[in-house]
Chains A and B, each alone.
Chain A
Amino acid sequence: MIEGDKAKDVIEVEHLTKRFGDFTAVDDISFEVHRGEIFGFLGANGAGKTTAMRMLTGLSLPTSGRGTVAGFDITTEPEQIKRHIGYMSQRFALYGDLTVKDNMDLFAGIYGVPRREIGSRIDSLLDRLDLMHEKNSRVRDLPQGWKQKLAFSVSIIHRPEIVFLDEPTGGVDPAARRQFWELIYEAVDEGITVFVTTHYMDEAEYCDRISMMVDGRIEALDSPSALKRAYGASSVAEVFDILARGAARTE
């Protein structure tokens, strides 16, 4: 990829399929994620979201199909993908025994941020998160909401083209969820593409486009407003219900 001539899509996959024995977890999915958008990846538990995400993040190879993430091939360059994306899950653990600053330092190093830039990046992150006064606090002593913001910031400390957020707000109260989404908006404002899964349907409304996965397939993909129009629904939650009702793979 030539610098300054970045592709319009950060993810593009065609006919992506993953089988485990005779079970097809991901069944021939094709889609693109546009640069700079918030892409909501929705589906019921067991629909195949996690398996699909593992392929998109270089953790698992597809059985068939092809695709690229951040310009790298998911079949032949999974290690490159891991280096060029950000990833955060609800279970994503910062090191509780390390301080805020040390966690940032560690992950910046792991992600290969140039040594001379690490200090200034950490400072600007601490500043933005309003955590300067807590930089020497151990992470485990921070309130959950701060940990979550910190985990997100650390996941984009190397300024990846795209960050994958796997249920980042599970079990989080309504006020803290909104604060977290404002961080997402800010990251998007700075040009990072966001790929997010959530079970909160109000959060689905914040996405530019969403896909709905049912039984390993992508059954619908469009902006929230277009999906609501297409299904004659007043909310994304209703669209989800309509599509999930047709699922054969019951939970």
Chain B
Amino acid sequence: MDSIVIDSLRKSFHEDLPPAVDMRSVITIPKGELFGIIGPDGAGKTTLFRMLATLIRPDSGTASVEGLDIVRDYRKIRTMIGYMPGKFSLYSDLSVRENLEFFASVFGKDIEANYSLIENIYCRLRPFEKRKAGRLSGGMKQKLALCCSLIHSPSVLFLDEPTTGVDPSSRRELWENLGELRTSGMTIVVSTAYMDEAGRCDRVAMMKSGRFLAVDSPADIISGFGARLLAVRSDEMFRLLHDLRSLPFVRKCYTFGDMHHVILNDDADLSAQAGYGSDAAAIASILENRGHSGVVVKDVEASLEDCYMNLEEK
């Protein structure tokens, strides 16, 4: 069964501006899927979440959540979903425990009944139960917000950038939690600016200008990369970036951790021209001639982040 169906959903906030969300096709998300959304600021991710969570109405188009219409059946949908907005939205003046009790009571549930669902997350908050939510650090706020969005045992969970401002260890924990929730059959839709997180989703949508440009499993997105990718390093990384970009056979070059990634033009055939064994050896030689030391050039496999960087260019 499909948990979410989005059909030509459109939402505009201002006549003079292009619509925030402008989905031109039908997207279905099956029950129990962990569905990721990535895209630049202003792509429409939050607006899409707010429509699916029934907080704002679309201008046109339809969508359903658990078979219910987001406009007509908004009241029923609200009892069945959990929504964690990107902006911290708990009560700062209430304690950790009081926030949790409040959200449980709003849905007419008690904490104990659904405690097993949040146990693995809440156990880290237990020692701080009496602390005011506003005084928690970033990672703990996110954990509490997740608990509050889960305490009524929703069938669908919407998470809008849950890991922004969260350190790498807490991020991993949160994703382990999401993995556990998925095994319970919950549908999870999550947006993120981290490509390693997107890689943990069943399917990922790349969103831009209000639309999904590509929807596929991370593995299929990666296998469709379709360009030649090299990783390059030298002792002067900033100069290297400009030097690589100035080479006629380089289509694109961008920083990538401790290496730069270079996408070659499809017709580049350096090894044949210059008599080197490989493109990598030819580029290393060119860079050394330009005075770079410590040069390393190697072929690498594309990652989801490379796919994203390439998508941006189109």
Contact = CB atoms under 8 A, between A and B. Distances in A.
Interface of A: 43-46, 90, 143-145, 167, 170-178, 181-182, 185, 188-189, 199-202, 205-206, 224-225, 235-237, 240-241, 244-245, 250-251
In this complex, which of A170, A171, A224, A240 has the most chain B Cβ atoms within 10 angstroms of its Cβ? A171
A237 B168 contact: yes
Is chain A's binding surface mostly helix, strand, loop or mixed? helix
Contact of A44 (B39, B169, B312): B169
A82 B164 CA distance: 28
Is chain B's binding surface mostly helix, strand, loop or mixed? mixed
B168 A170 contact: no
A173 B255 contact: no
A145 B41 contact: yes
Contact of B308 (A175, A189, A201): A175
B138 A45 contact: yes
Contact of A46 (B140, B161, B171, B194): B140
Given A45-B137, A177-B193, 14 more contacts: A45-B166, A144-B41, A173-B308, A174-B305, A175-B309, A176-B40, A185-B238, A189-B238, A199-B166, A199-B171, A237-B168, A240-B169, A251-B140, A251-B167
A201 B168 contact: yes
A174 B165 contact: no
Interface of B: 38-42, 86, 124, 137-140, 143, 161, 164-171, 193-195, 237-238, 241, 254-258, 305, 308-309, 312
Nearest to B254: A178
Contacts of B241: 182, 185
A182 B239 CA distance: 11
Contacts of B38: 173
Contact of A176 (B41, B137, B138): B41
The 5 closest A-B pairs by CB, nearest first: A144-B41, A171-B164, A45-B139, A202-B257, A46-B137
A171 B87 CA distance: 11
